[in-house]
């Protein structure tokens, strides 16, 4: 299994990154973990997508969603696969909703319950939007970042129109809509410092809420507890250290805020389905073949520079 652990250092001033990548066939199962929320469109080929323990087969025009710090993977099926990958921080979309459904609800639902497309017409519509986004990001004409944001919201609207969430996910949409902004300071705090062990009291204070209020509001909006969100962030950091350094598991446990190597071992195995040692052994990237090829990096270094200015250099 090859591992792809990317960090584009997204910040409030640079909240978005995108790229077009190609996965050669035959290829192993690749994995990815990062702080950003991710939406992807399969542009060509066939692909198998893994989110936690859920596996789904995609065809051109299909989309997938991944929450921040959520382990996920891919494998091409029957030939090369090409995809458009869009990664962004929560503030990039803010508090947008679709008839009372917050965009965060699409991501916080269990992987098997997240919306999916059905029918060739919708897939064709999604592909058209994907190619529009690709042109906007490539040309960077005035207002292109606004066009990208609108394009992502259009894709989410398509998904929500066909979505029939489970009963639990149906409940509390009005609460999610009104409370989303309240937890954003805590989400940003954890994303900025994934190895720190934040208490509920610290997170609640950041949001100006009591501990009991914060715990309830966070779970209502995200669909899981603040503790689980923090654990995902820490384990994603662990995965990066396992693949990118020679540090021992004991040293990584200390670096990432775990009590000891045994605590890290159990937490990592429960989430990734492998011990830290197994993950390092099986997931170490192969220097000359990472299982994917980046055809275009569409996330800009500088957002405001127009095309004419760059061309003149």
Q: What is the pLDDT of residues 205-214, one digit of tens each?
A: 999 999 999 9
**217 and 272 part of one domain:** yes
**100 and 142 part of one domain:** yes
CATH of the domain at 162: 2.60.120.280
Which residue range is the domain that position 162 belongs to?
Answer: 2-171+286-311
The residue with greater pLDDT, 108 or 59, is 59
pLDDT at 39: 96
**102 and 196 part of one domain:** no
pLDDT at 9: 62
Q: Please count the structural domains in the chain.
A: 2
**99 and 16 part of one domain:** yes
> How many other CB atoms sit within 10 Å of the CB of residue 95?
16
Task: Please compute the mean of the pLDDT values over residues 239-254 and round it to a whole number.
Answer: 86
**262 and 305 part of one domain:** no
**69 and 182 part of one domain:** no
**161 and 15 part of one domain:** yes
**180 and 135 part of one domain:** no
Contact at 8 Å (CB) between 279 and 1? no
pLDDT at 69: 67
**150 and 278 part of one domain:** no
Percent of the chain with pLDDT over 70: 81
pLDDT at 58: 96
The residue with greater pLDDT, 308 or 288, is 308
Q: Alpha carbon 259 to chain centroid distance?
A: 27
pLDDT for residue 169 is more than 70 = no
Question: What is the band of 28 on the pLDDT scale with cuts at 50, 70, 90?
Answer: low
pLDDT for residue 118 is more than 50 = yes
> In this structure, what token pair is assigned to residue 179?
């409370």
DSSP string for 189-204: HHHH-TTS---HHHHH
Question: What is the band of 148 on the pLDDT scale with cuts at 50, 70, 90?
Answer: very high
**139 and 219 part of one domain:** no
> pTM for the complete prediction?
0.66
- pLDDT averaged over the chain? 80
pLDDT at 175: 52
**102 and 246 part of one domain:** no
- Where do we find the tokens 């100006």? 208
Task: Please compute the mean of the pLDDT values over residues 280-293 and round it to a whole number.
Answer: 53
**205 and 251 part of one domain:** yes
Question: What is the band of 274 on the pLDDT scale with cuts at 50, 70, 90?
Answer: confident
The residue with greater pLDDT, 240 or 204, is 204
Separation between Cα atoms, residue 168 and residue 97, nearest integer Å: 18
Alpha-carbon separation of residue 49 from 71, 159, 259, 262 (angstroms)? 11, 17, 33, 30
CATH of the domain at 195: 1.10.10.60
Q: Which of 114-118, 176-180, 226-230 has the lowest mean pLDDT?
A: 176-180
Question: What is the band of 149 on the pLDDT scale with cuts at 50, 70, 90?
Answer: very high
Q: 3 by DSSP, 3-state: which?
A: strand
């Amino acid at each position: 299994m090859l591992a792809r652990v990317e960090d584009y250092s997204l910040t409030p001033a640079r909240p978005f990154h995108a790229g077009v990548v190609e996965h050669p066939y035959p290829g192993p199962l690749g994995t990815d973990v990062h702080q950003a929320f991710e939406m992807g469109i399969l542009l060509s080929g066939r692909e198998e997508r893994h989110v936690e323990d859920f596996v789904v087969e995609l065809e051109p025009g299909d989309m997938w969603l991944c929450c921040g710090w959520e382990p996920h993977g891919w494998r091409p099926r029957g030939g090369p696969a090409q995809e458009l990958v869009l990664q962004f921080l929560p503030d990039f979309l803010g508090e947008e909703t679709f008839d009372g459904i917050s965009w965060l609800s699409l991501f916080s639902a269990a992987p098997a319950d997240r919306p999916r497309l059905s029918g060739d017409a919708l897939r064709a519509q999604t592909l058209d939007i994907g190619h529009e986004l690709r042109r906007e990001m490539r040309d960077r004409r005035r207002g292109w970042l606004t066009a990208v944001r609108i394009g992502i919201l259009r894709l989410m609207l398509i998904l929500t129109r066909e979505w029939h969430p489970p009963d639990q996910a149906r409940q509390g949409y009005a609460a999610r809509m009104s409370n989303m902004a309240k937890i954003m300071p805590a989400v940003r705090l954890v994303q900025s410092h994934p190895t720190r062990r934040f208490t509920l009291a610290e997170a609640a204070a950041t949001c100006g809420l009591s501990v009991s209020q914060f715990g309830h509001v966070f779970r209502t909006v995200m669909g899981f507890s603040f503790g689980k969100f923090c654990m995902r962030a820490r384990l994603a950091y662990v995965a990066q250290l396992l693949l990118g350094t020679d540090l021992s598991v004991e040293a990584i446990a200390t670096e990432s805020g775990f009590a000891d190597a045994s605590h890290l071992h159990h937490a990592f195995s429960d989430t990734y389905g492998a011990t830290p040692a197994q993950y390092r052994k099986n997931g170490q990237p192969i220097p000359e073949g990472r299982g994917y090829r980046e055809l275009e990096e569409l996330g800009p270094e500088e957002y405001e520079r127009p095309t004419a200015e760059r061309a003149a250099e």
